Protein backbone atom coordinates (compact mmCIF):
# COMPACT_ATOMS: atom_id res chain seq x y z
CA UNK A 1 0.00 0.00 0.00
CA UNK A 2 1.54 3.32 -1.04
CA UNK A 3 1.78 6.15 1.43
CA UNK A 4 -1.55 7.91 0.98
CA UNK A 5 -1.64 11.68 0.37
CA UNK A 6 -3.93 12.20 3.35
CA UNK A 7 -1.21 10.73 5.60
CA UNK A 8 1.48 13.05 4.29
CA UNK A 9 2.44 16.48 5.56
CA UNK A 10 2.30 19.37 3.13
CA UNK A 11 4.90 21.91 2.13
CA UNK A 12 3.88 25.57 1.72
CA UNK A 13 6.44 27.60 -0.18
CA UNK A 14 6.28 31.41 0.00
CA UNK A 15 8.75 32.87 -2.49
CA UNK A 16 9.91 36.48 -2.48
CA UNK A 17 10.02 36.39 -6.29
CA UNK A 18 6.24 35.77 -6.22
CA UNK A 19 5.59 38.86 -4.10
CA UNK A 20 6.18 37.55 -0.54
CA UNK A 21 2.51 36.61 -0.12
CA UNK A 22 0.59 33.47 0.83
CA UNK A 23 -1.93 34.29 -1.89
CA UNK A 24 0.72 33.19 -4.42
CA UNK A 25 2.12 30.34 -2.32
CA UNK A 26 2.81 26.97 -3.89
CA UNK A 27 1.56 23.95 -1.93
CA UNK A 28 2.52 20.33 -2.50
CA UNK A 29 2.28 17.04 -0.66
CA UNK A 30 5.51 15.47 0.53
CA UNK A 31 5.62 12.32 -1.60
CA UNK A 32 7.55 9.14 -0.71
CA UNK A 33 9.95 9.84 -3.56
CA UNK A 34 10.70 13.30 -2.21
CA UNK A 35 11.18 11.89 1.27
CA UNK A 36 13.68 9.30 0.04
CA UNK A 37 15.54 11.94 -1.98
CA UNK A 38 15.69 14.28 1.00
CA UNK A 39 16.88 11.44 3.22
CA UNK A 40 19.82 10.92 0.90
CA UNK A 41 20.71 14.61 1.03
CA UNK A 42 20.03 15.54 4.63
CA UNK A 43 18.81 13.08 7.23
CA UNK A 44 17.96 15.78 9.79
CA UNK A 45 15.53 17.56 7.50
CA UNK A 46 13.96 14.28 6.42
CA UNK A 47 13.40 13.21 10.01
CA UNK A 48 11.47 16.41 10.81
CA UNK A 49 9.17 15.91 7.83
CA UNK A 50 8.81 12.23 8.68
CA UNK A 51 7.81 13.10 12.24
CA UNK A 52 5.06 15.28 10.79
CA UNK A 53 3.97 12.33 8.63
CA UNK A 54 3.82 10.15 11.73
CA UNK A 55 1.64 12.71 13.50
CA UNK A 56 -0.75 12.77 10.54
CA UNK A 57 -0.89 9.00 10.45
CA UNK A 58 -1.83 9.07 14.13
CA UNK A 59 -4.69 11.43 13.31
CA UNK A 60 -3.28 14.79 14.43
CA UNK A 61 -5.13 17.50 12.53
CA UNK A 62 -2.85 19.39 10.16
CA UNK A 63 -2.98 23.14 10.74
CA UNK A 64 -1.90 25.82 8.32
CA UNK A 65 0.33 27.89 10.58
CA UNK A 66 2.35 24.93 11.88
CA UNK A 67 2.69 23.58 8.33
CA UNK A 68 3.85 26.99 7.13
CA UNK A 69 6.57 27.14 9.79
CA UNK A 70 7.75 23.58 9.23
CA UNK A 71 7.98 24.22 5.50
CA UNK A 72 10.78 26.73 6.03
CA UNK A 73 13.30 24.35 7.66
CA UNK A 74 16.91 24.95 6.62
CA UNK A 75 20.19 23.28 7.52
CA UNK A 76 22.45 25.33 9.82
CA UNK A 77 25.01 22.69 10.76
CA UNK A 78 27.75 24.43 8.72
CA UNK A 79 27.18 27.55 10.84
CA UNK A 80 27.62 25.78 14.19
CA UNK A 81 30.79 26.88 15.97
CA UNK A 82 33.04 24.91 18.28
CA UNK A 83 35.29 26.25 21.01
CA UNK A 84 38.03 24.53 22.99
CA UNK A 85 37.48 24.74 26.75
CA UNK A 86 39.94 22.84 28.96
CA UNK A 87 40.97 20.67 26.02
CA UNK A 88 37.33 19.82 25.42
CA UNK A 89 35.50 20.74 22.22
CA UNK A 90 32.17 22.39 22.93
CA UNK A 91 29.52 23.60 20.48
CA UNK A 92 28.57 27.22 21.17
CA UNK A 93 24.87 27.82 21.95
CA UNK A 94 24.52 30.37 19.15
CA UNK A 95 25.42 30.92 15.52
CA UNK A 96 26.34 34.16 13.78
CA UNK A 97 25.14 35.05 10.30
CA UNK A 98 25.80 38.01 8.06
CA UNK A 99 22.97 40.37 7.24
CA UNK A 100 23.15 42.74 4.31
CA UNK A 101 20.71 45.63 4.16
CA UNK A 102 20.12 48.57 1.86
CA UNK A 103 22.21 51.74 2.23
CA UNK A 104 19.92 54.70 1.64
CA UNK A 105 21.89 57.90 0.95
CA UNK A 106 19.37 59.47 -1.44
CA UNK A 107 17.99 62.23 0.78
CA UNK A 108 19.60 64.68 3.16
CA UNK A 109 18.32 67.86 4.83
CA UNK A 110 19.74 71.38 5.11
CA UNK A 111 19.16 72.75 8.60
CA UNK A 112 21.14 76.02 8.35
CA UNK A 113 23.10 78.17 5.92
CA UNK A 114 25.67 80.98 6.26
CA UNK A 115 28.08 82.76 3.96
CA UNK A 116 31.39 80.95 3.49
CA UNK A 117 34.04 82.80 5.61
CA UNK A 118 36.58 82.62 2.76
CA UNK A 119 34.17 83.66 -0.01
CA UNK A 120 35.86 85.95 -2.54
CA UNK A 121 39.42 85.05 -1.41
CA UNK A 122 41.99 82.43 -2.35
CA UNK A 123 40.14 81.38 -5.47
CA UNK A 124 36.84 80.75 -3.60
CA UNK A 125 33.94 82.38 -5.52
CA UNK A 126 32.20 85.28 -3.82
CA UNK A 127 28.92 83.37 -4.08
CA UNK A 128 30.18 80.45 -1.93
CA UNK A 129 27.68 79.36 0.70
CA UNK A 130 28.02 76.96 3.66
CA UNK A 131 25.12 74.56 4.18
CA UNK A 132 24.72 72.51 7.36
CA UNK A 133 23.47 69.13 6.15
CA UNK A 134 22.17 66.16 8.16
CA UNK A 135 20.40 62.87 7.48
CA UNK A 136 16.97 64.45 7.43
CA UNK A 137 13.61 62.99 8.41
CA UNK A 138 13.00 60.33 5.77
CA UNK A 139 11.60 57.11 7.24
CA UNK A 140 13.87 55.24 4.82
CA UNK A 141 17.12 56.90 5.90
CA UNK A 142 20.17 54.91 6.94
CA UNK A 143 22.12 56.06 9.97
CA UNK A 144 25.37 56.97 8.21
CA UNK A 145 28.61 58.12 9.76
CA UNK A 146 30.84 60.86 8.29
CA UNK A 147 28.29 61.95 5.72
CA UNK A 148 30.73 64.56 4.33
CA UNK A 149 32.08 61.66 2.22
CA UNK A 150 28.95 61.82 0.07
CA UNK A 151 29.57 65.44 -1.01
CA UNK A 152 32.60 65.22 -3.29
CA UNK A 153 34.11 68.36 -4.88
CA UNK A 154 32.79 68.93 -8.38
CA UNK A 155 29.52 67.05 -7.88
CA UNK A 156 26.11 68.66 -8.24
CA UNK A 157 23.95 69.37 -5.21
CA UNK A 158 20.22 70.02 -5.53
CA UNK A 159 18.26 71.86 -2.86
CA UNK A 160 14.46 71.68 -2.95
CA UNK A 161 12.95 74.40 -0.78
CA UNK A 162 10.62 77.39 -0.82
CA UNK A 163 11.11 81.12 -0.31
CA UNK A 164 10.04 81.40 3.34
CA UNK A 165 7.42 80.37 5.85
CA UNK A 166 5.33 83.31 4.57
CA UNK A 167 6.20 83.25 0.87
CA UNK A 168 5.80 79.58 0.00
CA UNK A 169 6.94 79.87 -3.60
CA UNK A 170 8.74 76.62 -4.44
CA UNK A 171 12.42 76.76 -5.42
CA UNK A 172 14.65 74.13 -7.01
CA UNK A 173 18.25 75.24 -6.74
CA UNK A 174 21.39 73.58 -8.06
CA UNK A 175 24.90 74.13 -6.75
CA UNK A 176 28.36 72.69 -7.28
CA UNK A 177 30.17 71.30 -4.26
CA UNK A 178 33.50 72.95 -3.40
CA UNK A 179 34.27 71.10 -0.16
CA UNK A 180 32.66 69.23 2.73
CA UNK A 181 33.84 68.67 6.31
CA UNK A 182 32.50 66.78 9.30
CA UNK A 183 30.33 68.92 11.59
CA UNK A 184 29.36 66.38 14.25
CA UNK A 185 27.24 63.24 14.50
CA UNK A 186 25.53 62.55 11.16
CA UNK A 187 26.17 66.18 10.14
CA UNK A 188 28.41 67.90 7.57
CA UNK A 189 29.21 71.45 6.51
CA UNK A 190 29.07 71.58 2.72
CA UNK A 191 30.54 74.55 0.84
CA UNK A 192 28.69 75.14 -2.44
CA UNK A 193 28.48 77.71 -5.19
CA UNK A 194 25.33 78.39 -7.24
CA UNK A 195 25.15 77.92 -10.99
CA UNK A 196 25.66 81.67 -11.48
CA UNK A 197 28.66 83.35 -13.12
CA UNK A 198 30.87 85.72 -11.13
CA UNK A 199 29.71 88.66 -13.28
CA UNK A 200 26.05 87.88 -12.75
CA UNK A 201 26.60 87.44 -9.04
CA UNK A 202 28.34 90.80 -8.77
CA UNK A 203 25.44 92.49 -10.53
CA UNK A 204 22.77 91.06 -8.20
CA UNK A 205 21.14 92.99 -5.40
CA UNK A 206 21.11 91.56 -1.86
CA UNK A 207 17.47 90.32 -2.12
CA UNK A 208 18.32 88.59 -5.43
CA UNK A 209 21.30 86.85 -3.83
CA UNK A 210 19.08 85.54 -1.00
CA UNK A 211 17.47 83.19 -3.51
CA UNK A 212 20.79 81.31 -3.75
CA UNK A 213 21.41 81.32 0.00
CA UNK A 214 18.97 78.72 1.40
CA UNK A 215 18.85 77.94 5.11
CA UNK A 216 16.61 74.88 4.91
CA UNK A 217 15.45 72.35 2.35
CA UNK A 218 15.71 68.81 1.03
CA UNK A 219 19.21 68.07 -0.27
CA UNK A 220 20.14 65.53 -2.95
CA UNK A 221 23.48 64.81 -4.59
CA UNK A 222 23.93 64.71 -8.36
CA UNK A 223 26.58 63.64 -10.86
CA UNK A 224 29.83 65.55 -11.34
CA UNK A 225 30.91 67.44 -14.46
CA UNK A 226 34.66 66.84 -14.82
CA UNK A 227 36.51 66.78 -18.15
CA UNK A 228 39.08 64.08 -18.89
CA UNK A 229 41.77 66.76 -19.04
CA UNK A 230 40.99 67.97 -15.52
CA UNK A 231 42.38 66.53 -12.31
CA UNK A 232 39.81 64.65 -10.22
CA UNK A 233 40.61 61.68 -8.01
CA UNK A 234 38.08 61.57 -5.19
CA UNK A 235 36.76 58.24 -3.93
CA UNK A 236 33.02 57.77 -3.82
CA UNK A 237 31.80 56.26 -0.51
CA UNK A 238 31.37 52.49 -0.57
CA UNK A 239 29.56 51.66 2.64
CA UNK A 240 28.78 48.01 3.19
CA UNK A 241 25.72 47.50 5.35
CA UNK A 242 26.74 44.13 6.75
CA UNK A 243 26.20 43.22 10.37
CA UNK A 244 26.14 40.00 12.35
CA UNK A 245 22.86 38.39 13.34
CA UNK A 246 22.95 36.12 16.39
CA UNK A 247 20.62 33.09 16.49
CA UNK A 248 20.46 31.05 19.68
CA UNK A 249 20.24 27.27 19.49
CA UNK A 250 17.73 25.34 21.59
CA UNK A 251 17.50 21.57 21.99
CA UNK A 252 13.95 20.20 22.35
CA UNK A 253 13.10 16.61 23.29
CA UNK A 254 10.25 14.18 22.70
CA UNK A 255 9.56 10.69 23.97
CA UNK A 256 7.22 8.07 22.51
CA UNK A 257 6.21 4.77 24.06
CA UNK A 258 6.29 2.11 21.32
CA UNK A 259 5.39 -1.52 20.67
CA UNK A 260 6.81 -3.80 17.99
CA UNK A 261 3.95 -3.02 15.60
CA UNK A 262 4.23 0.69 16.27
CA UNK A 263 7.99 0.54 15.75
CA UNK A 264 7.50 -1.27 12.45
CA UNK A 265 5.02 1.33 11.29
CA UNK A 266 7.30 4.16 12.38
CA UNK A 267 10.23 2.65 10.49
CA UNK A 268 8.13 2.44 7.33
CA UNK A 269 7.05 6.06 7.69
CA UNK A 270 10.62 7.19 8.26
CA UNK A 271 11.69 5.39 5.10
CA UNK A 272 8.89 7.02 3.14
CA UNK A 273 8.03 3.79 1.37
CA UNK A 274 4.70 2.29 2.48
CA UNK A 275 1.96 2.96 4.95
CA UNK A 276 0.77 -0.17 6.73
CA UNK A 277 -0.62 1.87 9.59
CA UNK A 278 -4.32 1.35 9.10
CA UNK A 279 -3.87 -2.35 8.24
CA UNK A 280 -1.39 -3.58 10.83
CA UNK A 281 -1.57 -1.22 13.78
CA UNK A 282 -4.56 -2.42 15.78
CA UNK A 283 -3.68 -1.26 19.28
CA UNK A 284 -5.46 2.06 19.19
CA UNK A 285 -5.04 3.05 22.88
CA UNK A 286 -1.28 3.45 22.36
CA UNK A 287 -1.88 5.24 19.06
CA UNK A 288 -4.27 7.64 20.81
CA UNK A 289 -1.68 8.35 23.50
CA UNK A 290 0.98 9.12 20.93
CA UNK A 291 -1.48 11.19 18.91
CA UNK A 292 -2.13 13.38 21.94
CA UNK A 293 1.58 13.60 22.71
CA UNK A 294 2.37 14.59 19.12
CA UNK A 295 -0.30 17.30 19.14
CA UNK A 296 0.81 18.75 22.48
CA UNK A 297 4.45 18.69 21.38
CA UNK A 298 3.62 20.46 18.11
CA UNK A 299 1.55 23.11 19.92
CA UNK A 300 4.28 23.73 22.49
CA UNK A 301 6.94 24.06 19.79
CA UNK A 302 4.84 26.51 17.77
CA UNK A 303 4.24 28.69 20.83
CA UNK A 304 7.98 28.71 21.44
CA UNK A 305 8.59 29.77 17.84
CA UNK A 306 6.38 32.81 18.46
CA UNK A 307 7.00 33.79 22.07
CA UNK A 308 10.29 32.33 23.34
CA UNK A 309 12.42 34.74 25.36
CA UNK A 310 16.01 34.59 26.62
CA UNK A 311 16.69 31.92 29.22
CA UNK A 312 18.02 34.74 31.41
CA UNK A 313 19.75 38.11 31.12
CA UNK A 314 23.12 36.41 30.49
CA UNK A 315 22.04 35.08 27.09
CA UNK A 316 24.44 37.29 25.17
CA UNK A 317 27.46 36.28 23.05
CA UNK A 318 29.82 37.92 25.58
CA UNK A 319 28.41 36.02 28.59
CA UNK A 320 27.26 32.71 27.09
CA UNK A 321 29.67 30.81 29.39
CA UNK A 322 27.63 31.98 32.39
CA UNK A 323 24.43 30.35 31.11
CA UNK A 324 23.02 27.17 32.75
CA UNK A 325 25.42 24.28 32.21
CA UNK A 326 24.78 20.81 30.87
CA UNK A 327 27.11 18.37 32.64
CA UNK A 328 27.91 14.69 32.28
CA UNK A 329 25.53 12.52 34.34
CA UNK A 330 28.49 10.60 35.73
CA UNK A 331 30.77 13.59 36.22
CA UNK A 332 29.13 16.82 37.39
CA UNK A 333 32.38 18.69 36.83
CA UNK A 334 32.45 17.93 33.11
CA UNK A 335 30.62 20.75 31.27
CA UNK A 336 29.35 19.57 27.88
CA UNK A 337 27.11 22.43 26.73
CA UNK A 338 25.50 25.68 27.77
CA UNK A 339 21.73 25.99 27.54
CA UNK A 340 19.98 28.85 25.73
CA UNK A 341 16.51 29.54 24.36
CA UNK A 342 15.85 30.07 20.68
CA UNK A 343 14.28 33.53 20.50
CA UNK A 344 10.69 33.69 19.30
CA UNK A 345 9.47 35.76 16.39
CA UNK A 346 7.69 38.25 18.67
CA UNK A 347 10.81 38.65 20.82
CA UNK A 348 13.05 39.27 17.80
CA UNK A 349 10.65 41.83 16.35
CA UNK A 350 10.06 43.53 19.72
CA UNK A 351 13.82 43.96 20.13
CA UNK A 352 13.85 45.65 16.70
CA UNK A 353 10.94 47.98 17.45
CA UNK A 354 8.54 46.19 15.10
CA UNK A 355 5.80 45.48 17.69
CA UNK A 356 3.03 48.06 18.20
CA UNK A 357 0.86 48.00 21.35
CA UNK A 358 -2.55 49.67 20.99
CA UNK A 359 -3.17 49.56 24.77
CA UNK A 360 -6.71 48.14 24.52
CA UNK A 361 -7.85 50.98 22.24
CA UNK A 362 -9.90 50.49 19.08
CA UNK A 363 -7.91 49.15 16.10
CA UNK A 364 -6.68 52.03 13.94
CA UNK A 365 -6.88 51.09 10.25
CA UNK A 366 -5.71 54.57 9.24
CA UNK A 367 -2.42 53.72 10.96
CA UNK A 368 -2.39 50.26 9.37
CA UNK A 369 -2.76 51.72 5.86
CA UNK A 370 0.08 54.19 6.46
CA UNK A 371 2.31 51.33 7.65
CA UNK A 372 1.40 49.17 4.65
CA UNK A 373 2.98 51.78 2.38
CA UNK A 374 6.19 51.53 4.41
CA UNK A 375 6.13 47.72 4.45
CA UNK A 376 5.77 47.75 0.68
CA UNK A 377 8.83 49.97 0.34
CA UNK A 378 10.87 47.93 2.83
CA UNK A 379 10.11 44.71 0.99
CA UNK A 380 10.78 46.21 -2.43
CA UNK A 381 14.17 47.53 -1.28
CA UNK A 382 15.64 44.08 -2.04
CA UNK A 383 14.25 44.03 -5.56
CA UNK A 384 10.99 42.20 -4.86
CA UNK A 385 7.78 43.31 -6.54
CA UNK A 386 5.09 43.70 -3.89
CA UNK A 387 1.41 43.93 -4.83
CA UNK A 388 -0.13 42.07 -1.85
CA UNK A 389 0.67 42.23 1.87
CA UNK A 390 -0.60 39.50 4.19
CA UNK A 391 -2.10 39.93 7.63
CA UNK A 392 -3.02 37.12 10.05
CA UNK A 393 -5.63 37.45 12.79
CA UNK A 394 -8.57 35.72 14.46
CA UNK A 395 -11.87 35.20 12.67
CA UNK A 396 -13.72 37.81 14.75
CA UNK A 397 -11.26 40.57 13.92
CA UNK A 398 -11.26 39.47 10.28
CA UNK A 399 -15.06 39.82 10.30
CA UNK A 400 -14.85 43.34 11.76
CA UNK A 401 -12.34 44.33 9.11
CA UNK A 402 -14.71 43.01 6.43
CA UNK A 403 -17.59 45.00 7.91
CA UNK A 404 -15.68 48.30 8.09
CA UNK A 405 -14.10 47.84 4.65
CA UNK A 406 -17.57 47.32 3.13
CA UNK A 407 -18.64 50.67 4.56
CA UNK A 408 -15.30 52.27 3.63
CA UNK A 409 -15.65 51.50 -0.08
CA UNK A 410 -19.21 52.80 -0.07
CA UNK A 411 -18.22 56.02 1.73
CA UNK A 412 -15.10 56.66 -0.33
CA UNK A 413 -16.09 55.55 -3.82
CA UNK A 414 -19.85 55.17 -3.64
CA UNK A 415 -19.64 51.59 -4.90
CA UNK A 416 -20.13 48.13 -3.42
CA UNK A 417 -17.34 46.01 -1.97
CA UNK A 418 -17.42 43.49 -4.80
CA UNK A 419 -15.48 45.84 -7.05
CA UNK A 420 -12.58 46.30 -4.62
CA UNK A 421 -12.56 43.08 -2.59
CA UNK A 422 -12.51 39.30 -2.92
CA UNK A 423 -14.31 37.64 -0.04
CA UNK A 424 -14.03 34.02 1.11
CA UNK A 425 -10.83 33.12 -0.73
CA UNK A 426 -9.11 29.85 0.24
CA UNK A 427 -5.63 28.37 0.01
CA UNK A 428 -6.21 24.66 -0.60
CA UNK A 429 -4.33 21.52 -1.59
CA UNK A 430 -6.04 18.25 -2.59
CA UNK A 431 -9.27 19.28 -0.91
CA UNK A 432 -7.58 20.38 2.33
CA UNK A 433 -8.25 24.03 3.24
CA UNK A 434 -5.06 25.40 4.76
CA UNK A 435 -6.02 29.07 5.03
CA UNK A 436 -9.10 31.26 4.57
CA UNK A 437 -8.70 34.90 3.65
CA UNK A 438 -10.29 38.06 2.24
CA UNK A 439 -8.35 40.40 -0.03
CA UNK A 440 -8.92 44.16 -0.31
CA UNK A 441 -7.75 46.74 -2.86
CA UNK A 442 -6.24 49.86 -1.30
CA UNK A 443 -5.84 52.41 -4.13
CA UNK A 444 -4.40 55.10 -1.84
CA UNK A 445 -1.63 52.73 -0.71
CA UNK A 446 -0.94 51.04 -4.03
CA UNK A 447 -1.18 47.55 -2.58
CA UNK A 448 -3.73 44.86 -1.73
CA UNK A 449 -4.32 43.68 1.84
CA UNK A 450 -4.96 39.96 2.34
CA UNK A 451 -6.50 39.26 5.76
CA UNK A 452 -6.02 35.61 6.80
CA UNK A 453 -7.66 34.08 9.85
CA UNK A 454 -6.25 31.02 11.55
CA UNK A 455 -7.26 28.76 14.45
CA UNK A 456 -4.06 29.62 16.29
CA UNK A 457 -5.36 33.17 16.84
CA UNK A 458 -8.95 31.99 17.49
CA UNK A 459 -7.87 29.58 20.24
CA UNK A 460 -5.60 32.15 21.85
CA UNK A 461 -8.32 34.81 21.90
CA UNK A 462 -10.86 32.38 23.36
CA UNK A 463 -8.54 31.66 26.30
CA UNK A 464 -8.38 35.28 27.48
CA UNK A 465 -10.99 36.21 30.13
CA UNK A 466 -13.58 38.90 29.47
CA UNK A 467 -15.22 39.77 32.78
CA UNK A 468 -16.76 43.18 32.32
CA UNK A 469 -15.45 45.72 34.84
CA UNK A 470 -12.99 43.33 36.48
CA UNK A 471 -9.28 44.03 36.76
CA UNK A 472 -8.61 40.80 34.88
CA UNK A 473 -10.77 41.80 31.91
CA UNK A 474 -7.96 41.75 29.37
CA UNK A 475 -9.57 40.19 26.32
CA UNK A 476 -7.93 42.90 24.24
CA UNK A 477 -4.53 41.34 25.00
CA UNK A 478 -5.50 38.31 22.95
CA UNK A 479 -6.15 40.20 19.71
CA UNK A 480 -3.40 40.47 17.10
CA UNK A 481 -2.77 41.63 13.55
CA UNK A 482 0.45 40.05 12.31
CA UNK A 483 2.00 41.34 9.10
CA UNK A 484 4.61 38.67 8.36
CA UNK A 485 6.75 38.24 5.27
CA UNK A 486 6.89 34.45 5.26
CA UNK A 487 9.63 34.38 2.63
CA UNK A 488 11.91 35.88 5.31
CA UNK A 489 11.06 33.36 8.05
CA UNK A 490 12.90 30.07 8.46
CA UNK A 491 13.53 27.44 11.11
CA UNK A 492 17.21 26.54 11.35
CA UNK A 493 18.02 22.94 12.28
CA UNK A 494 21.46 22.08 13.60
CA UNK A 495 20.94 18.39 14.34
CA UNK A 496 18.33 15.73 15.07
CA UNK A 497 18.85 12.56 17.06
CA UNK A 498 16.77 9.50 17.78
CA UNK A 499 17.45 6.47 19.95
CA UNK A 500 15.41 3.54 21.28
CA UNK A 501 15.73 2.61 24.96
CA UNK A 502 14.33 -0.57 26.54
CA UNK A 503 13.56 -1.03 30.20
CA UNK A 504 14.31 -3.33 31.87
CA UNK A 505 17.28 -4.67 29.89
CA UNK A 506 17.55 -8.35 30.82
CA UNK A 507 21.16 -8.46 29.60
CA UNK A 508 22.33 -5.96 32.21
CA UNK A 509 19.68 -6.11 34.96
CA UNK A 510 20.58 -8.85 37.47
CA UNK A 511 16.98 -9.14 38.61
CA UNK A 512 15.89 -10.44 35.19
CA UNK A 513 18.77 -12.82 34.46
CA UNK A 514 16.54 -15.87 34.88
CA UNK A 515 13.40 -14.41 33.24
CA UNK A 516 12.59 -15.64 29.73
CA UNK A 517 9.89 -13.10 28.87
CA UNK A 518 10.32 -9.84 30.82
CA UNK A 519 7.69 -7.11 30.56
CA UNK A 520 9.72 -4.65 28.51
CA UNK A 521 8.75 -1.06 27.84
CA UNK A 522 10.35 0.56 24.82
CA UNK A 523 10.78 4.30 24.37
CA UNK A 524 11.69 6.21 21.26
CA UNK A 525 13.65 9.29 22.37
CA UNK A 526 14.07 12.16 19.93
CA UNK A 527 15.67 15.59 19.96
CA UNK A 528 16.44 18.40 17.59
CA UNK A 529 18.52 21.55 17.78
CA UNK A 530 16.64 24.44 16.28
CA UNK A 531 16.44 28.21 16.09
CA UNK A 532 14.04 30.80 14.66
CA UNK A 533 15.55 32.96 11.93
CA UNK A 534 14.42 36.37 10.64
CA UNK A 535 16.86 38.08 8.30
CA UNK A 536 15.15 41.46 7.76
CA UNK A 537 12.95 42.58 10.68
CA UNK A 538 11.83 45.75 8.89
CA UNK A 539 9.81 43.55 6.50
CA UNK A 540 7.49 42.52 9.37
CA UNK A 541 5.13 44.24 11.82
CA UNK A 542 3.07 42.94 14.75
CA UNK A 543 0.07 44.91 16.04
CA UNK A 544 -1.71 43.76 19.17
CA UNK A 545 -3.70 44.46 22.34
CA UNK A 546 -6.74 46.18 20.82
CA UNK A 547 -10.43 46.14 21.70
CA UNK A 548 -13.34 44.78 19.70
CA UNK A 549 -14.66 48.30 19.07
CA UNK A 550 -15.38 49.45 15.54
CA UNK A 551 -12.02 50.05 13.79
CA UNK A 552 -10.96 53.66 13.22
CA UNK A 553 -11.00 54.44 9.49
CA UNK A 554 -11.56 57.67 7.58
CA UNK A 555 -12.79 57.92 4.01
CA UNK A 556 -10.10 60.38 2.90
CA UNK A 557 -6.40 59.74 2.32
CA UNK A 558 -3.92 59.73 5.22
CA UNK A 559 -6.59 59.54 7.92
CA UNK A 560 -8.60 62.52 6.68
CA UNK A 561 -12.22 62.91 5.64
CA UNK A 562 -15.34 61.54 7.31
CA UNK A 563 -15.03 58.74 9.88
CA UNK A 564 -16.43 55.49 8.53
CA UNK A 565 -18.87 53.86 10.94
Three-class secondary structure assignment of 270-305: HHCCECCHHHHCCCHHHHHHHHHHHHHHHHHHHHHH
Does the pLDDT value for residue 168 go beyond 50?
yes
Of all helices (H) and strands (E), which one includes residue 461? Answer: helix 455-463
Specify the pLDDT at position 4.
45
- 472 versus 383: the higher-pLDDT residue is 383
Specify the pLDDT at position 202.
93
Contact in structure between 461 and 481 (CB atoms under 8 Å): no
CA distance 320 to 343: 15
For residue 45, the SS3 value is helix
Specify the pLDDT at position 136.
87
Mean pLDDT of 335-358: 91
CA distance 467 to 110: 55
Specify the pLDDT at position 288.
65
Specify the pLDDT at position 25.
79
Q: Tens of pLDDT along 188-215?
A: 999 999 999 999 999 999 999 999 999 9
Specify the pLDDT at position 538.
87
CA distance 36 to 53: 13
Name the pLDDT band for 1 (thresholds 50, 70, 90): very low
CA distance 319 to 403: 51
Amino acid sequence: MALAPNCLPRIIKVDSSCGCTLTNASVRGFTPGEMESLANKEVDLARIIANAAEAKALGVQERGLATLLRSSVKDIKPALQEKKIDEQSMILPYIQRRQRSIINANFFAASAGVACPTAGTGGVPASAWNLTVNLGASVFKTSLESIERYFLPGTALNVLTWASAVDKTSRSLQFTVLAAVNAGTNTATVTVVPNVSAAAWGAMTAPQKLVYQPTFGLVQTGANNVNDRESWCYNQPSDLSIKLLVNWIQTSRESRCVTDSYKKTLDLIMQGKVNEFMRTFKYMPLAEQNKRQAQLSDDAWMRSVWYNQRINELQEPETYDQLPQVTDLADAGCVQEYKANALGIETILRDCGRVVDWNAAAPDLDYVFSQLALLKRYREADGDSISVIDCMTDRYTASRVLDIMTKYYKAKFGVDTIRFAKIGEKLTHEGQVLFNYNIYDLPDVGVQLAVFHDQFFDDQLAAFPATAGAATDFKSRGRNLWFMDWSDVSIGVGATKSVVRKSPDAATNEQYKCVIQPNVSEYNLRSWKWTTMLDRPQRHMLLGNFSDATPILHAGPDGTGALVS
